[in-house]
Amino acid sequence: MIRKEIYNLQIVRGLAALCVVLEHLSPRAVAHFFSAGQVGVSMFFFLSGYIMMHTFREDQSAGAFIKNRIKRIYPAYLILSIPLILYTLHKTGSLTYLLHNLFLIPWTEWDREALPYNWSESMANPAAWTLVYEFYFYLLLCVGKTLLNKKAFVFSFTTVAMLAILIATNMTWGNDGYLGWHGVTFKSVAGNLALLSFIVGMCGRQLGFHHVKKNPAVFLLIPVAMLLLWLMARQGVTNLQIRDLLGSCLPSWTFVLLMANMEDFKGFAYDKLHAIGMYSYSLYLFHANFYTAKWIVFNNLARVGLDSSPIKVAVLLLFIALSLFISKHLYHLIERGGAWKMLRSRSVRAG
């Protein structure tokens, strides 16, 4: 959990989750033009690196660390993604595809254009590809803690190891230029430039940059800088990873680092974003069910001649509202353990 003194980071998590949701559940022209989802992913990866250094415990063993990470991420992933996993099992009929999704294992090879297993997405839950990157990051942290469980060493080891593997992978196989969701293979994960967000997040916490004063002028410059970088990235840059680095990662790193070191933002809008940040993981995973459902609904609407733009927008707005409403309750039931408490309470009463 994020310690209370970094209140603003929950606001960032809420913003990051909304960026992903709005891209997935917006009309195609809007989603492809702004690519807000990649900005959200950059924020999430930066936050992971930052928080891992902020909450680092030298009295916690490597085994306990990875166990806690699995408990935090995997049960919620499995429960919230099971409708999609079962649906893709029905569509693909592939036990291999099922196992890769159940255990978040990267593929050896994946050709999205060839539509392998009769399904174009390498993950049943389209948002879950980031979890493979997260566990790769945690694995390197775990190796560092096993070698020497000191914060400075683990930071240095993880940074050097991730960079060395990133460079070696790109030199050996080249950079395929695709974003992380395109195909979740071992080499695509190890060689993706999105990993730099984890490293910069760790550096942002470990190397300081504290006592930044709350200056409205600075925050007015951030959207301008983000817009300029985004426009630069779209001018003649065909490698999508480099475009992502320029248009998503660099402005996201600056924004999150400033938010992490500024005074807490209070007010109605910030409090709402903070609340969304609390259940952002459930929102991030669960909304993908509606992302898949929208194509099914749109295809059925087209068959009966009701695929006009106003109807599609109404459907998407409904899906966004349902994603927020249901995810909030799923957070309390699954992440906070409310469902297990109710089951234990009923079993005690029954006994």
Residue 192 lies in a domain: yes
Residue 1: inside a domain, yes or no?
no
pLDDT of residue 4: 43
Among all chains, which residue has been given the structure tokens 């916490």? 205
CA angle 102, 184, 143 (to 5 degrees): 80
Residue 40 has what pLDDT? 93
Q: Which of 336, 322, 270, 333 is nearest to 10 (CA)?
A: 270
Q: What's residue 154's pLDDT?
A: 97
Give the pLDDT score at 232. 63
Give me the number of domains the chain comprises: 1
93 falls within a domain: yes
Position 251 in a domain: yes
The pLDDT assigned to 243 comes to: 85
Is 214 inside a domain boundary? yes
Provide the 8-state DSSP code for 25: T
* pLDDT, position 2: 44
**Does residue 287 lie within any of the structural domains?**
yes
Contact 122, 112 (CB under 8 A): yes
Residue type, 279: Y
Q: At what angle do helices 95-102 and 62-92 cross, to 10 degrees?
A: 150
pLDDT at 1: 42
Residue 2 lies in a domain: no
Domain encompassing residue 306:
7-350
**3-state DSSP assignment of residue 314:** helix
Q: Residue 260: what pLDDT?
A: 82
The answer for residues whose C-beta is within 8 angstroms of residue 246's C-beta and 6 or more apart is 229, 230, 232, 233, 237
Per-residue pLDDT of the chain (351 residues; tens, 9 = 90+): 444 447 889 999 999 999 999 999 987 766 666 678 889 999 999 999 999 999 999 999 999 999 999 999 999 999 999 999 999 999 899 999 999 999 999 999 988 877 778 888 899 999 999 999 999 999 999 999 999 999 999 999 999 999 999 999 999 998 989 999 988 999 999 999 999 999 999 998 888 654 445 555 555 566 666 666 656 655 667 888 988 888 888 888 888 888 887 778 889 999 999 999 999 999 999 999 999 999 899 989 888 888 788 888 899 999 999 999 999 999 999 988 876 777 676 665 665
